[in-house]
Amino acid sequence: MITTVLRQALRARGREPAVLCHTGADTRADLAGLPTAPGDVLLDLDAQPLGRPILDGTAEEPVAGLVAVVAATTTDLHRVLTSAVHLPRAVHVVVALVATPGHQEPPLPVGPGMGQWRDLQELRLRRVDSRGWICELFFPNAIESASVLDAVFQGTRGRRRGPAVAPLVALNGHEAALWRPGDTGANGVPDEGPVPLRRVTPVADLALRVHDSERPSAWTDEAVPALDRTTTGTDSWDELIGPTGYARAADRPVDPVQRIAPVDESTVNPTGFGKAENGPLGHLTLHGDRAVIREGKKNLVTVAPDGTITDVDLSRLRRLRGIRVDWSGPTGPHAAVRAVAGLAAGGVPLVSGPVPAWAAGLGTELTRLLTAATEADLSDRLSREEHSVRLRRAALYTHGLRSRWRALAAEAGVPVPPAPRVSVILCTRRPDMVGFALAQIARQRGVEPETVLTLHGFPASLPEVRSAIDAYRATGLPLVVHEAPADRVFGAVLNDSVARASGDLIAKWDDDDWYGPEHLADLVLARTYSGAELVGTGQDFVFLQEIDLMVWRSRESETSTRFIAGGTILTDRVVLEETGGFRPLPRAIDTQLLIAVTRGGGRVHRTHGLGYVLRRTGGGHTWSEDMAYFLHNYARQWSGWRPSSLLEGEPAPLGSEADTGQPVGAAQHTGGHP
């Protein structure tokens, strides 16, 4: 169908030239044999250098009758948006996605907000086979092609773009798009500079040059700093030196991690993770001259020469229980590290023998985790998922696009905006649970939360409450204490708490549940890669306190959903404003918020539930399911306290006699949800 659509578009394009582009594996064949004319351009966007125009001519803004891009996957389309800034304006734009993973939305574009699409004449969106899409747009007057491609990509993620990548950059080199996928605001620059000006202001705060030589040209721009990196094919085996396995670049040492092009977490992430502990084991190895992932004698994925793992690659691997990494096979250090980092970021459980020194670019934590699990661990559903979560954390923190650019900015001395601040909303009617709940918040890692503690119907002057508050403030974490009257309805109390918070993100916290130390960090990470308006976890682990029983429900995770645990909600302050906040009701507050988000066109994403334990007692819960519901609806159960290892035990309640740093037994706690 793709070839048929392109043939028809070429016949209807008029006298203007056509620009036919491809990106990703095996997409050039879709452009073969088309009825092109003199002046038409056939272009591999993956090899397009930044800063080089695509159509030559005298016109300041060349116009094409047709711009078509055939992308193997959504990951490939997102990468070449950076190169697409050089595509000419066009009246007819065709975007073909050969394959997409099942969890993605259709690429239904939403026009930009400055009226550029008011004259749009026609929009066609059609499936290609069962997994691909073709999107055609017709305009009466030529429009920027890159903005159209960007709108098509964003359609696969819903309405939110996610956090921006800072700082603004200028790029040089044909592999530069690997370092900044999806950035239609990037500018190409000559190898030696300078960065162009927009009036009197440089268009970028930092330049990155990606080249084939360890000794690039001298940089001439004194106002904008430049960093140098080499292409993925430059690091041949015989050039590796030193204990880390990396040579020196530009006469100065560079952290091996920062030499690796980042993973695009917008498309390469754990979304779609499956519980396939009974599936076969794959192998990342060498077959012929290409790195492949094999199941027996069958190639499931052929890894791109630059090591890129795509969203479609991950979907093909979800039925595997894991992959063993064969370090003797990959084509080069940079590509091998990128492939392994991409698989880990996608949540694929990996095992490995000793990691060679030349793979130091993986980073210390990811290297450790690769050898920490065995194939037997991957055959146990809980151990497999725990290993996957640890791998994805390490890979996304170390190699994620936003993490990498914050590190590059620090290397160049370019300041970037601070990370979004999380405000935790803790509302309780029980003085005896304040110390327990604050202890759970105080041990959070990866974020520095602000806590808004709302005492619903009792004062902060109670001895057990005052001692817990004092102990929490001694940690140095910010705390706002609010006393709400007992007769104020619960939903209104939550809105009062939000009004007193100063953070960009709002996290809801229950006073009697257990939270792992990376609970908040995992939610912030899921918000980044999912693009969802609201994120949370499932109620996977439930402790039935009356009968001293732990139940593991093992629900689907890393997916869009209509239901998450209310005590794990994290959303943007602006989303609460858009949905009207919490409804002024005494119960079902969380469910009503989820309904409001989805009704408004937003998405709810459920990440893993291994770092959270829901407590169930005899009564007093806002969720009305009784104990029998959990006893007939589980994957595994244990007598006594048995959470996931990701919970990392439990801290002693703050301000109590047990506040000694030693764990307190789960059965000692009493009480239910407010």
Residue among 559, 544, 569 nearest 634 (CA): 544
Same domain, 527 and 611: yes
CA separation for the pair 615, 543 (Å, rounded):
5
Range of the domain at 517: 422-668
Q: What are 82-118's pLDDT values in tens digits?
A: 999 889 999 999 999 999 998 999 999 988 888 889 9
CA separation for the pair 255, 7 (Å, rounded):
49
Averaged confidence pLDDT in the chain: 90
Both tokens assigned to 246: 């990396």
C-alpha distances out from residue 209 to 78, 167, 193, Å: 20, 15, 10
Same domain, 442 and 563: yes
Same domain, 218 and 150: no
Contact between 268 and 342 (Cβ < 8 Å): yes
CA separation for the pair 466, 651 (Å, rounded):
19
Q: What are 309-326's pLDDT values in tens digits?
A: 999 999 999 999 999 999
Same domain, 136 and 217: no
Residue among 336, 368, 330 nearest 352 (CA): 368
| Higher pLDDT among residues 174 and 657, named by residue | 174
C-alpha distances out from residue 644 to 202, 356, 449, Å: 50, 31, 23
Average pLDDT on 155-165 reads: 86
- Under the phi-then-psi rule, with left for phi > 0, alpha for psi from -120 to 50, and beta for the rest, what region is 658? alpha
DSSP 107-160: ------TTSTTTT--EEEEEEETTTEEEEEEEEEEEE-HHHHHHHHHHHTT-S-
Residues whose CB is less than 8 angstroms from the CB of residue 460 and which lie 6 or more positions away in sequence, other chains included: 466, 469, 481, 483
Same domain, 199 and 313: no
The residues facing 188 across adjacent strands are: 171
pTM of the shown model = 0.93
Strands 549-552 and 541-544: antiparallel
Same domain, 585 and 616: yes
Q: What are 388-438's pLDDT values in tens digits?
A: 999 999 999 999 999 999 999 999 999 999 999 999 999 999 999 999 999
Same domain, 365 and 451: no
CA separation for the pair 482, 461 (Å, rounded):
12
Same domain, 511 and 542: yes
Same domain, 146 and 28: yes
Q: Please report the pLDDT score of residue 672 as a whole number.
A: 34
Q: Which of 122, 155, 188 is the last residue of a domain?
A: 155
Dihedral pair phi/psi, residue 237, rounded to 5° = -60, -40
| Higher pLDDT among residues 236 and 568, named by residue | 568
Q: Structurally, how many domains does the chain consist of?
A: 4
Same domain, 133 and 209: no
Same domain, 484 and 606: yes
Residue located via tokens 């990440």: 607
Q: Please report the pLDDT score of residue 252 as a whole number.
A: 44
In a domain, 408, yes or no: no
In a domain, 406, yes or no: no
Residue 106: CB atoms within 10 A of its CB come to 14
In a domain, 293, yes or no: yes
Same domain, 485 and 338: no
Q: Which of 155, 187, 221 is the last residue of a domain?
A: 155
Contact between 198 and 220 (Cβ < 8 Å): no
Q: How would residue 537 be classed by pLDDT, with cut points 50, 70 and 90?
A: very high
Strands 505-509 and 559-560: unpaired
In a domain, 40, yes or no: yes
Q: What are 64-89's pLDDT values in tens digits?
A: 999 999 999 999 999 999 999 889 99
Q: Is the pLDDT of residue 61 over 60?
A: yes
In a domain, 413, yes or no: no
Contact between 567 and 614 (Cβ < 8 Å): yes
Q: Please report the pLDDT score of residue 625 as a whole number.
A: 61
Q: Is the pLDDT of residue 512 over 60?
A: yes
Q: Please report the pLDDT score of residue 648 as a whole number.
A: 97
In a domain, 592, yes or no: yes
Average pLDDT on 143-172 reads: 92
Q: CATH no. for residue 24?
A: 3.40.50
Residue 584: CB atoms within 10 A of its CB come to 14
